[in-house]
């Protein structure tokens, strides 16, 4: 394990603490509901602060939590007043991690991102390239799931992961999980796929980067400002990951994919003639193909090997991506009224009801 991984967790935790402290001395009228809930009005002692930073359960790979949640956990308040037995959920997360580990150990030598930049890969058929890339990228994701599922067990065992408001078993022990594998795999759009992956990081980027540049209301009214905030957020994420060149290139591509996804939802009425199950499958295939196509260079790290990989595809997926981005995001074609995602509509209705 590299020290940079531990530093990544530490940076998100400390910067989140800093924003919450700043919110504690900011006029409440200027804060969102989330900022009000997480604000720190009175600074803790140095001992409590260091205890939060280096809590054994999530100091290495996360998942990070807000200081207010950690303080309630230590003092057994709020959600943590009565924590039920954590044995079964802890074992569930642990066994999931071990299961992914078995798959990685068994198949990762045969299928790896590195092999996508070797001559043998270029000799495969188009279908063979797609299938190999999909398996290799799936196993690459499993490597993360091994660590994250075991990390979820780490914070579940003492009860930090407990959510008293959860209805189902998984919701009750899913307050600060790092990843939701099933939600990530079945997602048919960029937003849902990203939000189910490295969840604490997504929350940190949203609350402490994106929403510090633009409020949710401003984002709805001013797409240009929202696009700028989104682009900055992706760049901060790239910088947070490290200094390998492909990190920055891949996050630029992810930004473009996200903007294309939004544009397609604006054009939703044009595709209503397609049966819902068929439309879901088409969205899922396209979304997963481009996530895998961008994921391979992310693992290759440098331009030279990424170029070899792109060349095996004759750069066609990249050309299509750039052309679609220009067509839908910088011409009148993609300027239609945006169709709300079902989940977004449910969230909006919930806010109105409250």
pLDDT digits (tens, 9 = 90+) for 55-79: 988 888 888 889 999 999 999 988 8
The residue with greater pLDDT, 320 or 261, is: 320
> What does the buried/exposed string (b/e) look like for 236-250 if buried means 16 or more CB atoms within 10 Å of the residue's CB?
bbbebbeebebbbbb
Each residue's pLDDT tens digit, 230-263: 889 988 988 888 888 888 898 889 889 988 888 8
Residue 345 has pLDDT above 80, yes or no: no
Integer Cα distance of 70 and 84 in angstroms: 17
Q: What is the DSSP letter of 82?
A: S
Integer Cα distance of 249 and 253 in angstroms: 6
Q: What pLDDT shows up at residue 354? A: 55
Residue 160 has pLDDT above 80, yes or no: yes
Percent of the chain with pLDDT strictly greater than 70: 93
> What does the buried/exposed string (b/e) look like for 22-61 if buried means 16 or more CB atoms within 10 Å of the residue's CB?
ebeeeeeeeeeeebeebbbeeebeeeeeeebeebebbeeb
* pTM, to two decimals: 0.81
Six token digits for residue 193: 């796929």
What is the band of 1 on the pLDDT scale with cuts at 50, 70, 90? low
Residue 50 has pLDDT above 90, yes or no: yes
What is the band of 349 on the pLDDT scale with cuts at 50, 70, 90? low
Each residue's pLDDT tens digit, 111-133: 988 999 999 999 999 999 999 99
Say if residues 176 and 67 touch (Cβ distance below 8 Å): no
């Amino acid at each position: 394990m590299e020290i940079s991984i531990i530093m990544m967790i530490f940076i998100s935790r400390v910067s989140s603490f800093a924003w919450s402290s700043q919110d504690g001395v900011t006029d409440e009228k200027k804060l969102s509901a989330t900022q009000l809930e997480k604000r720190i009005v009175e600074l803790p002692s140095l001992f409590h602060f260091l205890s939060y930073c280096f809590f054994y359960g999530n100091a290495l790979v996360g998942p990070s939590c807000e200081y207010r949640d950690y303080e309630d956990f230590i003092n057994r308040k709020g959600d943590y007043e009565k924590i039920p037995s954590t044995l079964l959920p802890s074992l569930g997360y642990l066994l999931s991690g071990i299961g992914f580990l078995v798959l990685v150990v068994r198949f990762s030598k045969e299928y790896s991102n590195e092999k996508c930049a070797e001559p043998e890969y270029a000799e495969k058929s188009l279908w063979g390239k797609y299938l190999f890339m999909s398996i290799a990228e799936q196993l690459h994701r499993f490597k993360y799931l091994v660590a994250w599922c075991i990390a979820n067990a780490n914070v579940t065992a003492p009860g930090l992961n407990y959510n008293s408001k959860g209805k189902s078993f998984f919701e009750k022990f899913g307050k600060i999980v790092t990843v939701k594998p099933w939600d990530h795999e079945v997602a048919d759009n960029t937003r849902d796929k990203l939000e189910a992956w490295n969840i604490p990081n997504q929350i940190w980027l949203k609350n402490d980067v994106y929403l510090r540049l633009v409020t949710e209301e401003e984002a709805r009214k001013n797409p240009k400002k929202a696009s700028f905030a989104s682009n900055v957020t992706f760049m901060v994420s790239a910088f947070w990951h490290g200094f390998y060149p492909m990190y920055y290139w891949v996050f630029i591509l992810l930004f473009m994919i996200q903007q294309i996804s939004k544009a397609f939802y604006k054009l939703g009425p044009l595709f209503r003639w397609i049966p819902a199950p068929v439309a879901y499958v088409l969205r899922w295939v396209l979304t997963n193909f481009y996530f895998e196509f961008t994921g391979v260079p992310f693992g290759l790290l440098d331009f030279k090997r990424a170029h070899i990989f792109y060349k095996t595809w004759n750069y066609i997926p990249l050309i299509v991506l750039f052309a679609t981005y220009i067509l839908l995001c910088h011409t009148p074609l993609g300027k239609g009224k945006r169709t709300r995602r079902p989940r977004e509509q449910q969230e909006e209705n919930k806010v109105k009801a409250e």
